[in-house]
Amino acid sequence: MAFDQTTIFKAYDVRGIVPAELDADLAYKAGRALVLVLKPEQVAVGHDMRVSSPALAAAMIDGIRDQGADVIDIGLVSSDALYFSVGKYGFDAGVMITASHNPPEYNGFKICKEEARALSLDDGLDQIRDIALAGNFPEPEGGKRGDLIQKEILPAYIEHVLQFVDTARIKPFKVAVDAGNGMAGRTIPLLFQHLPCELIPMYFELDGTFPNHPANPIDPAAMVDLQKTVVEQNCDLGVAFDGDADRMFLVDEHGKLVGGDITTAMVAIALLEQHPGSTICYNLICSRSVPETILAYGGRPYRTPVGHSLIKKIMRAEDAIFGGEHSGHYYFRDNWYADSGLIAMLAVLSLMSKEQKPLSEIVAPIENRVGSGEINLKVDDKPAAIARVKSHFVEQGAAADEFDGLTIEFADRWFNIRASNTEPLLRVNVEGDTSDAMEALRDDVLTVIGA
């Protein structure tokens, strides 16, 4: 291949176009390299519904076995179910074949170590990359090929997530769920068998070509059908999942989108009732309203960088009960610090049941500021642009920190600007106490960047 395959090994996973950038041969080599780096005895392997996933999973499994480790094949599952299987059953590592929310021509791998600990580029994924691309593999110790064991784990996963709430307290809500033809189409029906709610299913057919809309609920365009269904069917709640069903976004009963940071605050309220005084992590892109809500409900807010592997490490160090991101990722201590959109959804249903209020009325006192949403800008020289922005606003007397990218704060407004880990983009998030405050700051930032 003329293509430089090192570039598909991202900060937190492997992702590329099949077969131009990622093919079965690389999957096989990555499987062998994984065994050499992590030295596991047993590796759980799952895959999503993408057209290329079964072949990539088969190649990955062959590579792992040829290097001497046993494979527990858990089949067609969501990413959060893969993490559960590694944590619950004590497997030494896990691989999920998925490209999450990317277009259908993409695929990739999410790799974790024991206890569902995420593997990142600076924590072993770089070694797997180098060994896989070199393609030189020693014979396994003893020359024995690993065994292959089939295991069904979804019923146990559903039983696990149900333990996070008292289902007897949940009211008989009418809930529209948009699976986007992704893995939620498999997990949601199993979950709702145990809930008193009426399920309105949307695009539950597993189809890796995504015939209805991209399985990327952070994109407002992918939420239009769900918003319409919620209003037309008089639903209490709308829920959308991404392709591998680890991320989750909400729509209130009026069809209004609810941000991932506001959902983080609601899940925090629900969990702080069960675990008073606990630490809750939130990333620095979240609204100022998130730490304020955590404090108001007796919790300890802890600000983190963006990125699941970083957040999970911090959560372990701080014994945080929960962590949330604006991007719709929600992490739970009692879920091996791994993501679960299902648990987050159950927490919101539990909160709605307790408050006996529509979702919009629960959201209203939390969502009391105005955000720009994430603005993505193509910039040739990202470091120079960030330096230019910092100089401009520090000269105005603003507080600046470089904890993750650059955050500039005024009393009534703030913004963060970060370079993307995976694309040639600057990501800008602006928030103000009022629309005027947000828009003035947003326009000033974009002018300085030159956008």
Residue 341's closest CA among 190, 187, 202? Answer: 187
Q: Which of 100, 309, 327, 353 is catalytic?
A: 100
Mean pLDDT, consecutive 10-residue stretches, the chain (451 aa), reads 78 93 97 98 98 98 98 98 98 98 96 94 94 95 93 98 97 98 98 98 98 95 98 98 97 97 98 97 97 98 91 95 96 97 98 97 96 92 94 94 96 94 85 98 96 70
Residue pair 113/243 in contact (Cβ under 8 Å)? The answer is: no
Instruction: Using the structure block, give the residue that is written with the tokens 């392709």.
Output: 243
User: For this structure, is 100 an active site residue?
Assistant: yes
Residue pair 216/101 in contact (Cβ under 8 Å)? The answer is: yes
Q: How far is CA 89 from the centre of its chain?
A: 22
DSSP class of residue 9 equals B
Q: What is the pLDDT of residue 1?
A: 42
Q: What is the pLDDT of residue 228?
A: 98
Q: What is the pLDDT of residue 422?
A: 61
Domains in the chain, start-ordered, CATH in brackets?
A: 5-152 (3.40.120.10), 154-366 (3.40.120.10), 370-449 (3.30.310.50)
d(CA 248, CA 264): 11
Q: How far is CA 38 from the centre of its chain?
A: 24
Q: What is the pLDDT of residue 309?
A: 80
Q: pTM of the predicted model, to two decimals?
A: 0.95
